[in-house]
Amino acid sequence: MNGPSRFFLGLVGALATVELVSAAFAYRTRVEPAHWEEAREVLAVHPAEEPIVMATAWLEPRARMAIPTVASQASDARPDLWGHARIHTLGLASRRGAPSWLAEIDPASTPRRSQQLRVGPLVLETWTLTPARERLAMLHGRGTALEILADGTVCPRRGSRWQCPAVTVEDRLLEVAGVPRRCMAVTAATGVTVELRDSAFPTGDLLRGHIGFGDFNGVLRSDAPVELEVRVDDTVRLRTIATDEEGWKAVQIPTEPGRRALTVRLTIADSASATPRPPCLELRSFGSP
């Protein structure tokens, strides 16, 4: 009778000891202000356009508070890591699983760690991605080169916004599937076709972009899908349907280098929702690696 209870007693004592030791590690702040200050100084020497990726995603607000480059890159809300030859990662040294950012890089690139630095519990790494494609142009950065039409009517531009009676297209930040993204956000009545035209869009050998739906909280509204059509020099090169369940859906189109007439058409299908969530589109052109 005493055997099992003695064994269990030992097990409970051992487990409680493990938990007590775990508590000593778990229940304390590890990243002190001095660590953030040092990380800021280390990252300040790198060019501001080189992405700083948070290897520990939940640390990002604290990093934005402490490191101006991280804060300014947050407002750029990059769509992925294509087109960058060098990136920097910042995270807790104790929490390094398979880096999630690997999914964001060009599969043709091979990441090679060129630098690693410990700042207290933080680890900063610099990665070289080779070969890297050159990013040539971004749809949401084209400004005056871009013309927006709603059902064939030209929408006048004011700042970063194009406005027609039933349509607003805006170059802005939007949350798609829980992540901030900078994109062309399209607010339109259902059934309306919105056209984004650029008569001389610089192209390389690839157009790559994403489409998603803003405002995760609106998931309950059961939005209708969006039909996306991309024409290059008036030839349909892509036609696809995007639904709100696909998150940040990537699209790719092989192209020929030069300046091409690019037309992107978005049609929001009939929706039962009174306020459908805005589709969010970004498109970039890349040269060969």
Partner 1 sequence: MRRPSLTLLAVLLFAIVTGTLARGHRDVGYVRDEGIYFEASRAYAQWAADVAQTPKRLFDRKHRDRAFAINHEHPALMKLAAGLSARLLARPTHGDSPSEGTFPLLLEGAAMRLPAQILAGFGALLLFLFAARRHGILAGLLAAGFVFTLPRVWFHAGLHAFDAPIMVATLVVALAYRKALASPWWSLALGPLLGVAIAIKHNALFLPFFLTLHLAWCLVTRGKGGHWTRFLPAPLWSMALLAPPCALGLWPWLWTDPVSRLRDYFAFHAQHNWYNMEFLGVNYNQPPMPFAYPWVMTWATVPTTLLLLGCVGLLRRQRTPSRGPGEDGITVPPPAGDFWRPLPEPSPQDDTRLWLILALGPLLVIAWPTTPIFGGTKHWLTAYPFLALAAADTWAWMTAPIARIRWLAPALLALILAPSTWSTAHAHPFGISQYAPLLGPRGAADLGLNRGYWGHIALPFLPDLDPRRDAPLCPGDLHPLARAQYVREGRWPHGLELGAHPRCRAALHHYEKHMVTYELTVWRNVETTAPTQIVALDDVPLAALYQRAP
Q: Which residues of this protein are in contact with partner 1, per CB under 8 A? A: 2, 5-6, 8-9, 11-13, 15-20, 22-23, 25-31, 56, 58-59, 61-62, 64-65, 68, 71-72, 74-75, 92, 95, 172-175, 178-180, 214-217, 219-220
> At its nearest, how many Å lie between partner 1 and the CB of residue 247?
11
> At its nearest, how many Å lie between partner 1 and the CB of residue 65?
5
Which residue, 14 or 200, is less far from partner 1 as judged by CB? 14
User: Measured between alpha carbons, how far is residue 125 from residues 93, 113, 153 in Å?
Assistant: 10, 7, 50
Which residue, 5 or 234, is less far from partner 1 as judged by CB? 5
Distance in angstroms (rounded) separating the CA atoms of residues 286 and 271? 35
Which residue, 11 or 117, is less far from partner 1 as judged by CB? 11
131 preceded by a cis bond (ω within 30 of 0): yes
User: Measured between alpha carbons, how far is residue 25 from residues 19, 28, 113 in Å?
Assistant: 10, 7, 29
Which residue, 79 or 204, is less far from partner 1 as judged by CB? 79
> At its nearest, how many Å lie between partner 1 and the CB of residue 265?
26
Q: In degrees rounded to 5, what are phi and psi of residue 238?
A: -155, 135
Which residue, 27 or 45, is less far from partner 1 as judged by CB? 27
Distance in angstroms (rounded) separating the CA atoms of residues 13 and 15? 6
Which residue, 85 or 216, is less far from partner 1 as judged by CB? 216
User: Which of 115, 80, 125, 71 is CA-nearest to residue 101?
Assistant: 80
> At its nearest, how many Å lie between partner 1 and the CB of residue 93?
12
Specify the residue for token string 């501001």: 48
Decide if 108 contacts 288 (C-beta within 8 A): no
> At its nearest, how many Å lie between partner 1 and the CB of residue 172?
8
Please give the structure tokens belonging to residue 160. Answer: 């970063």
> At its nearest, how many Å lie between partner 1 and the CB of residue 245?
12
Distance in angstroms (rounded) separating the CA atoms of residues 203 and 190? 31
Decide if 31 contacts 65 (C-beta within 8 A): no
Please give the structure tokens belonging to residue 229. Answer: 């059509």
Burial class (CB in 10 A: 0-12, 13-18, 19+), 218: middle
Which residue, 99 or 180, is less far from partner 1 as judged by CB? 180
Distance in angstroms (rounded) separating the CA atoms of residues 98 and 89? 13
> At its nearest, how many Å lie between partner 1 and the CB of residue 21?
8
